[in-house]
Structure 1
Amino acid sequence: MNILLKSAKIVNEATKEIHLKKRDILIKNGVIEKIGVQIDAPPKTKIVEHKNLHVSLGWMDTGVSFGEPGYEERETIDNGLQTAARSGFTDVLLNPNSFPLPDSSSDIVFLKNASKGHVTNLHPLGNLTVSGEGESLAELYDMKNAGAVGFYDFKHAVTNPNLLKIALQYAQNFDGIVLSFPLDNHIAGKGIVNEGIVSTRLGLKGIPAMAEELQVSRDLFILEYTGGKLHIPTISTANSVKLIAAAKKKGLKVTCSVAVHNLIKTDDDLEDFETHYKVLPPLRTTKDCKELIKGLTNGTIDFVTSDHTPLNIELKKVEFDNADYGTIGLESSFGALNQLFDIEETIEILTRGRKTFGIEVPELREGTKANLTIFDPNTEYTFSEDHISSSSKNSLFLNTVLKGTVLGTISNNQVHLNH
């Protein structure tokens, strides 16, 4: 398909000569053929024009969940990838959060095959342990060869320190990356929200910040001993940022992410016992939010993830204590981030991550494959169910004012336009 973006403002620091300049971009058969001030459209070319058209490299999300296989009513791979494309993401890392869990090469092959033919590329994470039970390592090497980009027991801490040690040592043989969820279950106990003034006032059992920080500290200690590559997904406390900053200073190969909602929402939002706000890690304090934002700005925190977790309504429309953890986030991710940062920083954050997980990094130059997101950064709107294309509607950003609209995505010689 041939497409011409007219007068698009390019946000891409890597190409200094056109960064923040308005240009026409002609894409032929999936390749950027020409970037120029004025390009005439060849025959049979789709022209994309918009009053405030912006373009950047395609965005990446390092942590999404769909339901398939096993929980298709929450989200199929097909609808999940269409939602990702509508939300501006040309690449997503898929969490192992299905039934059965992906712990063998054939499971990874199934996920890769199910995602073919989409604008958005799906990069599966395989389970670190067999059936995610934390007892013995899964087929890491075989899964890597089948296309897994990392190994993670989704939202489950590696409770056995020796297992993490062996995993980090073994994965070095094939440049694999190990993910370890930051939560000490013994300290967290039956807690469901951040432990503090709010949890006490509301009579809800708390998860202390220490439950996360002890696990982070332990994992970094093991990493220092073993070497290898460790990724700590969705940190949520000020002290976790400090611990990871110190580890990076030592030269350890550690990366981490933060869920976008942990940058914006706090435990003060729990006052109405709204179950959409029940997430793991829990919403913390304003101080934590500030330190997480600072960590993101100075490079201590590597990625922001939507932590997109679709859940059917009966898992959320119950008492707060009994509700499942999780919120969807793909559709609101850009609008939320764009409220916090200027557009250059927002795009820089959204395009990070590929290199860490061994994914090809696209370029915005003539002669390269088009992997692009088009958007308008200035529109403001109140996020509602009308903006949700996920099968599940469990969003904690409902009724929140967001800034910026995704207009479409271009990747894999395909175009998805929202308007």
Structure 2
Amino acid sequence: MNALIKSATIVDSKSKFHNEMVDILIEKGRITQISNHISNLNNYQEIKLDNLHVSQGWFDSSVSFGEPGYEERETIANGLKTAGHSGFTAVALNANSNPVIDSYADITFVKSKAQDNAVSLYPIGALTQGSKGEDLAELFDMSNAGAVAFYDYQEPISNPNLMKIALQYASNFDGLVISFPQESKISGLGVVNEHINSTKLGLKGNPALAEELQVARDLFILEYTEGKVHIPTISTAKSVELIRAAKAKKLNVTCSVAIHNLVFTDDVLQEFDTNFKVLPPLRTQTDCEALIEGLKDGTIDMVTSDHNPIDIEAKKIEFDYAKYGTIGLESAFGVLQNIFTTKKTIHILTQGKSRFSISETTVNEGEIANITLFNPDITYEFNTSNISSRSKNSAFLGNALRGKPYGIVANNKIILNNG
């Protein structure tokens, strides 16, 4: 693949051309020249777009595509296409499928479905067999097959001894254990944040305590085992405090937050819109502010869309019975731009790769081209026409967003949005 990108502003603090408007020559998938002006002598494909900016390729640490088993929600092929159109060159795929991805063969299967794609797929294997929380899955075998971490998607490990053994075992091969932060006996049948709104709406509450107890427990176990853990999608102010203290003690812990937990509170539940039924639930404004502060000071390591396509039959029902989840790949950039500067947004979208053993490439001469193209300034209302996913269950429908991805150049391929 050969291409010439014209008049692009580079947003990459690790590039010698950071903040400069330049031309970028790509030959055979590698950046061969960056300069103020490059002539298209070989008649390569020319990419010239309005207010074009480029950065390192973006990464999402938590996406679900459904396949195998839930292809009506999303397929791997269309999920990766959606990720590319949304500006992501790499995604970590959850074991949120049927059957659950919990063996060497399963990891090999999902990797084969993503071969020769512009977007790189990094599978996360289930931590326990069938994600049932009873017996460890084939962690070492899955690691050899290419699993980058181990996680029972949105299923808490209720047995603390099992969590201890998982951390001890995985440390033998530098495996990353992911533990969902919820104490199920405390959360019970709660479907929304336990607070004033849950009482007003007559919906069962899932208290912040359920998350915080599990985070505290896992951090104690981590300290004992000296293992390596990632806590996904935290949602409370106290969780931020707990992880901040653990990092001060030099524990090997990272964490993420879902984008929707940064911007929405449980006040949006007044209309019982099931697109806002997510796990962990939407919390309070105090929690949102603490999460944003945690991102600013580095306590929270990465942001995820927690992209989870759900078919309409599982969403257009009573709130209590609707499935948890919202899609988020397509809206991620525009939402973050409403909160942070472009520089900070790009930093957020490009960090976290090393935690998942993914190599980082910068926008410099000689590097393999793994870049995202975007316009940071365009504003628009997000609607179904902006959704590439098979499922349309977005919490961000009708929201005003700032900034749009144009596409990506990665794996010796180009994906560009129309227009």
* TM-score class, shorter: over 0.9
Q: Which residue of 2 aligns with 1:4?
A: 4
Q: Which residue of 2 aligns with 1:308?
A: 307
Partner AA of 1:156 in structure 2: E
Partner AA of 1:277 in structure 2: F
SS in 1 for 2:224: helix
CA drift at 1:52: 0.4
1:64 aligns with 2:63: yes
Q: Which residue of 1 aligns with 2:24?
A: 25
Q: Which residue of 1 aligns with 2:43?
A: 44
Q: Is the 8 A contact 1:13 1:19 kept in 2?
A: yes
TM-score, normalised by the number of residues in structure 1 = 0.99
CA drift at 1:43: 2.0
Q: Which residue of 1 aligns with 2:368?
A: 369
CA drift at 1:396: 0.4
Q: Which residue of 1 aligns with 2:282?
A: 283
1:228 aligns with 2:227: yes
CA drift at 1:408: 1.2
Deviations 1:380-404 (Å, cap 9, x if unpaired)?
Answer: 1110000000000000000011110
Q: Which residue of 2 aligns with 1:35?
A: 34
Q: Which residue of 2 aligns with 1:184?
A: 183
Matches within 5 A, 1:128-139: 128-139=127-138
CA drift at 1:144: 0.3
**In 2, distance between residues paired with 1:51 and 1:374?**
11
**In 1, distance between residues paired with 2:240 and 2:379?**
31
Matches within 5 A, 1:127-276: 127-276=126-275
**In 1, distance between residues paired with 2:116 and 2:189?**
43
Aligned residues: 418
Q: Which residue of 2 aligns with 1:82?
A: 81
**In 1, distance between residues paired with 2:252 and 2:113?**
32
Deviations 1:77-107 (Å, cap 9, x if unpaired)?
Answer: 0000000000000000001000100111010
SS in 2 for 1:318: coil
Partner AA of 1:129 in structure 2: T
**In 1, distance between residues paired with 2:386 and 2:220?**
43
Q: Is the 8 A contact 1:407 1:417 kept in 2?
A: yes
**In 1, distance between residues paired with 2:241 and 2:287?**
11
Q: Which residue of 2 aligns with 1:400?
A: 399
SS in 1 for 2:31: strand
Unaligned runs of 5+ in 2: none
Q: Is the 8 A contact 2:88 2:408 kept in 1?
A: yes
Deviations 1:16-46 (Å, cap 9, x if unpaired)?
Answer: x311110100001100010000000132311
Q: Which residue of 2 aligns with 1:326?
A: 325
CA drift at 1:363: 1.8
**In 1, distance between residues paired with 2:187 and 2:347?**
34
Q: Which residue of 2 aligns with 1:98?
A: 97
CA drift at 1:260: 0.3
CA drift at 1:190: 0.7
CA drift at 1:50: 1.7
Q: Kindly, what percent of the aligned residue pairs are identical? A: 58
Q: Is the 8 A contact 1:308 1:327 kept in 2?
A: yes
**In 1, distance between residues paired with 2:269 and 2:358?**
38
**In 1, distance between residues paired with 2:224 and 2:392?**
43
SS in 2 for 1:377: strand
CA drift at 1:365: 1.1
CA drift at 1:158: 0.5
Q: Is the 8 A contact 1:2 1:44 kept in 2?
A: no
CA drift at 1:364: 1.4
Structure 1 vs Structure 2 CA RMSD = 0.6
SS in 2 for 1:12: coil
Q: Is the 8 A contact 1:259 1:307 kept in 2?
A: yes
1:124 aligns with 2:109: no
Q: Is the 8 A contact 1:8 1:24 kept in 2?
A: yes
**In 1, distance between residues paired with 2:404 and 2:102?**
37
Q: Which residue of 1 aligns with 2:381?
A: 382
